[in-house]
Structure 1
């Protein structure tokens, strides 16, 4: 490890002490590479919010833990570590200023750690400190390489927004503010489009509405859209410009924009064919495109957790198209093998670091979801947990929702083993499995919000098998008008998983029937109308597997899952591992009284050659699940 990380980690004397105390104001120790480095050196990190949380861990957990510990405080307040813990040891103050002395610290605070890699490569050229404004211009030109000072009209602005929202690095709002202020000084005529820079889902909604209008006026009315020609009506339309035509095609392929249906078969030019839905559509082209984009991530070498989330999103779309149209199975299966071999290697090396990530900018794991929601300034919130939903099912559901809603799409890692008893509990306990109490999910949900000063009368929790027509009277969150925090578990997908005798194709057909009933759409619409901020997530996904045989160990196994077996004795776990291809999963963040055996990708501990859909293991489809925010389409 080198660069800015080496400069900062050298400030922590973890070689000399078992217990260290760090003021990490910039949340530096949530960096993926730093966490991995500390883990390799047997250094654990505990991030706490207040003295009570710190004291509980210090007195109840520390003495049972191996390795070294860093107690990390992120807040801006005047917090002091308790004297009896310090024992004449001085806390360490970590700050980005150590690595970047010539750049504005308030601006650096806004950057993702990936962006800091780029900053470090070019910051050596600086001879003197830069102001806030100079720092922002330096970052935009040298790190993000965004050319913003030549924008003079609406089309140039919208083309720039595509580059902005597709950028490999997340562009923070402070830099967007700077860009807008610069453009505003030119007295341009498109100020009403400035807000689209801050929200990708709103920008996609804008493009969708303009595309729908364009198809309706041009294609369905037989007005020519041939290459190099435009209609009189649309001579100044957004999609009359070659730059925009070229830049939006991948959005349709990746499911970020919906193709517009046309009333009959037409001869569509190449640039528009992905954005028009007709019977002659050839999904194989899209499957190839998605596979090539996934390969770009896999072949990069250094893959981080957010890269895997992007792979999961793309793979979900790819697999959904293959199931929907019944083509490209060999392409998908070959890529699936490559993905899951690399993902398994990554999980065994890096997964344990994810629990230490900060949940406040974006959640990394399912137990981060509640802290993330708590950090948002929203009076009414609802969390819909679609139990057992993978990104493959989400992409199918998204197709149905996109007609009326816009989605802010992200992903989080489930807890392994990827079973309801562990991963769904983690959502509501908002903590790693080892630190959870034995209380129910509902009680944990209520306790979390009570700690945030929400009275019990303003909290609801419900669990449904959402069958038949939607009945608003059955939803407590919609009956209690004073509700501020609502949770709704829908068990349909998990129930379908365990009864999927026709595999994922059968599940697709069953989910299609459910979506046509309109239950989910009506539920979301009613919640939005009642003023809720609507979040959707899942506790784990699912995968197709083939049986390799059932280990005959009877009562020696505590949990006999199809893709995971849980033991109370390590010897019996290891005995089973020697008989079957499997993975001995570490129990660092799990109960120390249990030992875990996972089936390899596409295998299950069931009757030999039996085909099932199940969960419990560490394939991409099981581990990375959707985390979505939903709003009404305008």
Structure 2
């Protein structure tokens, strides 16, 4: 156990109480390692976000069992309050519980509290170790920021003395996928502003805004290729794009390494070139679009790299998001290959998929139960966090929010959409992220979490239908302070001829939040006969209609910031045998079956390879049974595309911010 975890868990002596109230305004407890340590000691944490939802879960799972002397799901319960004040809590909670107050100012006594507030819980462990080892005196605000940059983000602004060092540090930050808080980015800018070589660089924005930094790298790369003598090709349908361009020393070995990785992971897009000079540097070919045979070789290399660099059992959810994006980019490139070349590398790709799925499932059994409670200010960790994250964005000045839910869209299929958007829309900015869907990854379960902001057990009465989504969406936003006429919801959107209906709805200036379900991908998936490769081809044809970019443009023109996500992905699966159980199973999907009691769940024939994975966020009488691996409850050997299970492709879905470049520049 680390010193940080020991420092936190010792606040909760298990023998003193079975019910605790943690006043935690700085979200100290909302870290996967801390939550895991508490869970291993018999504690379960529930956030007090909704008093009614908390009361229902507390009464059902804990208090009634305590009163009857029965065993509870955990030995002790922690009510997590994201504030210092407990006056809002019911009197019976306060009477029964033992209080703990946690705050960064008390834990990091030698650091400036205002400088600490911007960093997230995922950094507290590293900061605590550094604080214990290196903080020898009380530090002011500026010195605390330097301390955090040095010991947490491994950056020393005072040592950035030339452009090579600047771009090297910037690449290292964005390669790690870390988010640098605005205050720390501002500290770097303040340190560098006196140096002439950085006077024209937007230092703060490059460090705090990954989407902007990648856009600058992409534009500068195109400029570098031109200077190097390459003749750039004009792609069909591509619009002229005005990217930020800077003089970057791409030839320097330290910069090459970072650029190479960004291209391989899909963060940067290789450029189509009509011709290259004879002396064109070989290392730079990673950023040149390849012919089909070269692309197939690259796919095999990426697949091997993915299989050999999987997150560990102690990895964070952010590590899995990064892996899912790499795997999605790999599959996007794989499905784009001609069939004969794809067959040649199919085994490499399948090995990467299987290795990732096996590792993820082991990780889920250890960590999934903690994900619903994690902080989501920097982006949702799970789909039920999405509405609250949108309220956070509204508070940041983005008053009009549009949530586009592309039903059934996996990350590899998002990569298709992204490529088309970046080719055809030069005026938008795309910031890519990911989040976890709910298990089982069925529409009626996972999609409802997006529009309700609730965990599945909190909408148990409608868990087998999506008919309640409009009212759940409206209810969330009314509780967040909006009026009913300021909230919109549409579903069943597929084609261009529906765009006028959407435009008429969102043109109303009263509408502040719009939730729109785009069903086309899910429809394609359920009708698929040629696997995910065939789906990729059909999505390409759908994109050719211009629907996606016209929908985005429509919403951007009406002043909306757009967040695009999915309720689940999809996966190529192989039948292990049919389950002919009549009405024993309540919900019957190819990748999961739902039963209402342990006896019914145990009725699955022993000759079928299945597994159970029960979660506290599901209703107590909602018991999923999954086929192992990439199996499906269909005829043995049948090849299908399905969802409902816990593969990387099904469970980790895109979460994308799309906004106007001009609006972001103004802000």
TM-score normalized by structure 2?
Answer: 0.87
Distance in 1 of aligned mates of 2:151 and 2:107:
17
Q: 1:555 aligns with which of 576, 583, 587?
A: 583
Q: CA deviation at 1:86?
A: 2.2
What per-residue deviation string (whole Å, max 9, x for no partner) do you get for residues 349-404 of structure 1?
A: 21111111122232110000111111112210000000011111111211111222
SS in 2 for 1:578: coil
Q: Secondary structure at the match of 1:252?
A: helix
Matched residue, 1:147: 156
Distance 1:586-1:49 versus aligned 2 partners, 3 A rule: closer
* Contact preservation (8 Å) 1:412, 1:625: yes
**Superposition RMSD in Å:** 2.6
> 1:432 pairs with 455, 474, 477, which one?
455
CA–CA separation in structure 2 for the residues paired with 1:359 and 1:237? 36
Bigger Cα displacement from structure 2, 320-329 vs 424-433: 320-329
1:190 and 2:213 are equivalent in the alignment: no
Gap change, CA 1:606 and 1:56, over 3 Å in 2:
closer
- Is the aligned partner of 1:261 residue 2:261? no
Aligned-pair CA distance for 1:50? 6.7
* Structure 2 segments unaligned to the other structure (5+ residues): 66-71, 233-245, 663-667
Of the structure 1 ranges 463-472 and 519-528, higher mean CA displacement relative to structure 2 is found in: 463-472
- Alpha-carbon spacing, 1:534–1:130, altered in 2? closer, same or farther (3 Å): same
Shift in CA distance, 348/167, structure 1 to aligned 2, threshold 3 Å: closer
Q: Do the aligned partners of 1:297 and 1:307 also contact (CA within 8 Å) in 2?
A: no
Once the 2 structures are TM-superposed, how far is the Cα of residue 62 of structure 1 from its aligned partner? 4.4
Matching residue within 561, 583, 605 for 1:533: 561
Cα distance change, pair 186–614 in 1 and its aligned pair in 2 (3 A) = same
1:398 aligns with 2:430: no
Partner SS, residue 214 of structure 2:
helix
CA distance in 1, matches of 2:247, 2:130: 40
SS of equivalent residue, structure 2 residue 454: coil
Give the superposition deviation at 1:575: 2.2
The residue that corresponds to 1:502 in the other structure is 530
Alignment of 1:309 onto 2:321: yes
Match of 2:573, SS state, is strand
Q: CA deviation at 1:518?
A: 1.1
SS in 2 for 1:124: helix
Aligned residues: 621
Aligned twin of 1:102: 110
* Greater shift in the superposed pair: 169-178 or 391-400: 169-178
- In structure 1, the residue matched to 2:374 is 357
Give the aligned partner of residue 229 of structure 1: none
| Counterpart contact for 1:370–1:428, Cα < 8 Å | yes
Match of 1:584 in 2: 612
- 1:9 corresponds in structure 2 to 9
Give the 3-state SS of the residue equivalent to 2:413 in structure 1: helix
Partner of 2:78: 70
Aligned partners of 1:411 and 1:625 also within 8 Å: yes
* Greater Cα shift, 75-84 or 376-385: 75-84
Q: What does residue range 5-84 of structure 1 map to in structure 2 within 5 Å?
A: 5-49=5-49, 62-63=62-63, 66=72, 67=74, 68-75=76-83, 79=87, 81-84=89-92
Moved more, 99-108 or 448-457: 99-108
Aligned to 1:416: 439
> Counterpart of 1:331?
348
Alignment of 1:513-528 (within 5 A): 513-528=541-556
Conserved 8 A contact 1:154-1:190 = no
Contact 1:428 / 1:441 at 8 angstroms: preserved in 2?
A: yes
Q: What residue in structure 2 maps to residue 380 of structure 1? A: 400
Deviates more, 1:207-216 or 1:55-64: 55-64
Q: 1:590 to 1:78 in 2, by over 3 A?
A: closer
The question of whether the paired residues in 2 share the 8 Å contact of 1:462 and 1:476 is answered with: no
Residue in 1 aligned with 2:261? Answer: 250
Contact 1:385–1:539 (Cα < 8 Å) also in 2: yes
| Equivalent position of 1:370 in the other structure | 387
**Aligned mates of 1:471, 1:464 — CA distance in 2:** 12
Shift of 1:106: 3.2
Of stretches 190-199 and 22-31 in structure 1, the one that deviates more from structure 2 is 190-199
Farther-moved stretch of structure 1 (189-198 vs 567-576)? 189-198
Deviation at 1:47, TM superposition (A): 1.3
Residue by residue over 1:194-252, the C-alpha shift from the partner in whole angstroms, topping out at 9 and shown as x without a partner, is 42222010111122223334445654559xxxxxxxxxxxxx94356535455323222
Q: Is contact 2:19–2:97 with CA below 8 Å preserved after alignment?
A: no
Secondary structure of the residue that 2:336 maps to in structure 1?
helix
CA distance in structure 2 between the aligned counterparts of 1:569 and 1:51, rounded to whole angstroms:
29
* 1:46 to 1:490, Cα distance in 2 relative to 1, 3 A: same
Asked if 2 retains the 8 angstrom alpha-carbon contact of 1:110 and 1:172, the reply is: yes
Q: Distance in 1 between matches of 2:545 and 2:299?
A: 29
Q: Distance in 2 between matches of 1:177 and 1:633?
A: 21
Answer whether contact 1:115 1:169 (CA < 8 A) is retained. Answer: no
Instruction: Tell me: CA distance 1:273–1:469, structure 2 relative to 1, closer, same or farther (3 Å).
Output: farther
- Is contact 1:204-1:257 (8 Å) kept? yes
Gaps of 5+ in 1: 223-235
Of the structure 1 ranges 203-212 and 465-474, higher mean CA displacement relative to structure 2 is found in 465-474
Q: Is the 8 A contact 2:25 2:81 kept in 1?
A: yes
TM-fit CA distance, 1:8: 1.3
The structural deviation recorded for 1:98 is: 5.0
Matching residue of 2:140 = 131
1:284-333 CA-partner distances (Å, limit 9, x unpaired): 44335533553464264522211111110000011111111143211111
Kept in 1: contact 2:595–2:624 (CA 8 A): yes
What CA distance in whole angstroms lies between the structure 2 residues aligned with 1:340 and 1:167?
Answer: 22
Deviations 1:543-589 (A, max 9, x none): 11110111221121211210111112321211206331111121422
Q: Which residue of 1 aligns with 2:358?
A: 341
Does residue 546 of the first structure (1) align with residue 574 of the second (2)?
yes
- Tell me: CA distance 1:190–1:618, structure 2 relative to 1, closer, same or farther (3 Å): same
**1:577–1:597 Cα contact (<8 Å) kept:** no
1:460-489 Cα shifts (integer Å, max 9, x gaps): 111124135663345454343431100110
1:86-119 CA-partner distances (Å, limit 9, x unpaired) = 2275521012355433333333333334433322
CA distance in 1, matches of 2:527, 2:457: 31
Q: 1:167 to 1:550 in 2, by over 3 A?
A: closer
1:134 to partner: Cα distance: 2.2
Q: Could you tell me which of 203, 220, 229 is aligned with 2:213?
A: 203
SS at match of 1:556: coil
Does 4-13 or 366-375 show the bigger shift? 4-13
